[in-house]
Amino acid sequence: MATKKTDKVSKAKAVKKPTIYASCIYGGALKSGYSIIQASHEHPEIIFEQLKKYYGCDIKGRFCKSTNSIETILEIIEKDLEDKKDAKSDILYKESVTDIIKVIKKATDAKKCTTMGVYEKEIDKENEKESEESDDNEAESETVFKNVENKTAKKNKKTDDDDEDDNNNLKKEVKKEVTKKDTKSKEKELEEKSKNKKETKETKETKDKVTKNSKVSKKFL
Q: How many domains does the chain have?
A: 2
- pLDDT for 53-71, tens place per residue? 999 999 999 999 999 999 9
Whether residues 106 and 131 share a domain: the answer is no
Whether residues 94 and 138 share a domain: the answer is no
- Of 66, 215, 3, residue with least CA distance to 75: 66
Residues of the chain with pLDDT > 70, as a percent, come to: 48
Q: Is there a domain that residue 144 lies in? A: yes
Could you tell me if 98 and 43 are in contact, meaning their C-beta atoms sit under 8 angstroms apart?
Answer: no
pLDDT at 9 over 70: no
If pLDDT is split at 50, 70 and 90, which confidence band does 173 have? low
Mean of the per-residue pLDDT values of the chain: 75
- pLDDT for 136-164, tens place per residue? 555 555 665 566 566 666 555 555 555 56
Q: Is there a domain that residue 25 lies in? A: yes
* 33 φ/ψ sector (left φ>0, alpha ψ -120 to 50, else beta): left
* Model pLDDT, residue 192: 72
- Of 79, 62, 67, residue with least CA distance to 17: 67
Domain boundary among 171, 186, 209: 171
Distances from the Cα of 148 to the Cα of 136, 140, 154, 183, 198, angstroms: 18, 12, 10, 51, 73
Whether residues 75 and 130 share a domain: the answer is no
Q: Is there a domain that residue 186 lies in? A: no
Whether residues 128 and 91 share a domain: the answer is no
Q: Is there a domain that residue 137 lies in? A: yes
Q: Is there a domain that residue 34 lies in? A: yes
Q: Residue type at 47?
A: I
- pLDDT for 31-53, tens place per residue? 999 999 999 999 999 999 999 99
Contacts for 118 with CB less than 8 Å, ≥ 6 apart: 60
Residue 102 CB: number of other CB atoms within 10 A?
A: 13
- pLDDT for 21-33, tens place per residue? 999 999 999 999 9
* Model pLDDT, residue 216: 45
Q: Is there a domain that residue 212 lies in? A: no
Domain boundary among 91, 117, 143: 117
Q: Is there a domain that residue 211 lies in? A: no
* Model pLDDT, residue 98: 94
Write out the E strands in the chain.
20-27, 34-40, 59-66, 92-94, 114-116
Whether residues 72 and 106 share a domain: the answer is yes
* Model pLDDT, residue 144: 55
Q: Is there a domain that residue 1 lies in? A: no
Structural domain for 157, as ranges: 119-171
* Model pLDDT, residue 15: 74
* Model pLDDT, residue 221: 47
Q: In what order do the strands lie in the sheet with 20-27?
A: 92-94, 34-40, 20-27, 59-66, 114-116
If pLDDT is split at 50, 70 and 90, which confidence band does 73 have? very high
* Model pLDDT, residue 113: 92
If pLDDT is split at 50, 70 and 90, which confidence band does 17 have? confident
If pLDDT is split at 50, 70 and 90, which confidence band does 167 have? low
